[in-house]
Amino acid sequence: MAISFLFGIHSANPEHESYHPTAALLMSIGQLGFQLMVPILAAFIAESIAKRPGMVVGFIGGLIASNGGAGFLGGIVAGFAAGYLIILLSKLLSKMPKSLNGLKSIFLYPVLGILLIGILMSFLVEPMTAINEGMKTFLASFQNANPILLGLIVGAMCAFDMGGPVNKAAYVTGTALLAEGNMYFMAGVSAACIAPPLTTGFATLLFRKYFNQAERNAGSINFILGSTHITEGAIPFAAKNPVVVIPILMIGSSIAATLTYMMNIQVPAPHGGFLVLPVVTGALQWVAAILIGSLVGAVIFGLYRKLTFHNKEIGSEDIENEQSA
C-alpha cells in the first residue's frame, strides 16, 4: 500500500487522472492483507489455547468481528472465545470412542465450533462495535484540541500496546479522518507509531554495552521496521519489563506526535512510514519530529538499562563478598 502511494495519492482510483494499474494492483493486495489481519489474529489466539482445532473457529470468529465493525478488540475477544469453546467441546466429546477421534478433528470441532462461535459473536459484535466506535469518537473529538494535549493522547495510545486494540483505535481514527480530507491527524498517528521501534534501535546503538547481542540485532532490524511504520518491532523489548519500558516508549511517541501537530505537518498516506515522504507536507520537519521523540525515548531507555546493569553488578559483588566471608 505504501509503495502504491509513490505513484500518487489517488493513483489506485480508476476514476482519477493519476490512475496507474500497478498502483491499483499494489493497493488491492495491501487492502486484502489488512482485511485478513483481524481474522488471522483471532485464529492464532484460538490456536494458542486449543491447538490446531481452534484455528479455523478463531478465524471465522475474527471474520465476523471484522465484518461487523468490532475491529481488533472484537478479534481478540473472538480468539479467546473460540479457543475456550473448543476446549469445552473437547471435554463434552471426551467420552466418544477413540476410533472416532479423526471424526472429531476434521468434522465435529470445526462444524460445531463455527456454529457456536457464530451464535456467540452475533451477540457480542454489537457491544464490541460500540466500544470500538466509542474509542474512535473519543479520540476524534480531540482533533481540534491543543496540539500538546492531542500529541500526548495520540502518542500514549499508539505506544501503549503497539499494534493492539488501543493503538488500532488511534490508527483507525486517523484513517477515518483521512478519508474526510484531514491529513493533519494522521501525521501525528504515524509519527507516534514509527517512534517506538526507532527508540529501541537508537537505545541499542547508543548504549550497546547494556544490551546483549540478540537485543542489538533486534535493535538494528527495528530501524527498518520503524522506518516503514511497523510498530510491533518494539514489543520484544517492552515484553521484558512492560511496566517500565512501555511508559518510556509512550514518552518518545508523545513527543514525536506533539511536535508533528505543533508544526502542522500533513501526511496523506495511512501507512508506509518514510516510504511516503515524497507526498508528506513538511517532510523534513516530520522526520525531525520523529527523530527527536525517538532519541529522547532512547536516552531514557538506555539510562534505565545502564542503571539495571550496574545494580546487577553490585548485587553479584555483594553475593561474592558474603560467600568469601
Break the chain into its structural domains and give their ranges.
1-133, 142-325
Q: What is the DSSP letter of 99?
A: G
| Structural contact between residues 195 and 157, judged by C-beta atoms closer than 8 angstroms | no
Helix, strand, or coil (residue 266) = strand
Q: What is the DSSP letter of 105?
A: I
Closest CA to 163 of 70, 212, 265, 232: 232
- Which residues, listed in sequence order, are joined to residue 266 by a DSSP beta bridge? 281
Q: What is the pTM of this model?
A: 0.73
Cα separation, 295 vs 239, whole angstroms: 20
Tens digit of each residue's pLDDT, the chain (325 residues): 777 877 877 788 888 888 889 989 988 998 888 788 889 989 999 999 998 889 999 999 999 988 887 777 788 899 999 999 999 998 988 888 877 777 887 888 899 999 999 999 999 888 888 887 787 777 777 777 788 888 999 999 889 877 777 787 788 788 878 777 778 888 999 999 999 999 999 999 999 989 999 999 999 999 999 998 888 888 888 888 888 999 999 999 999 999 999 999 988 877 788 888 888 889 999 999 999 999 999 999 999 999 888 776 555 444 455 445 5
Angle formed at CA 296 by CA 295 and CA 298, multiple of 5 degrees = 60
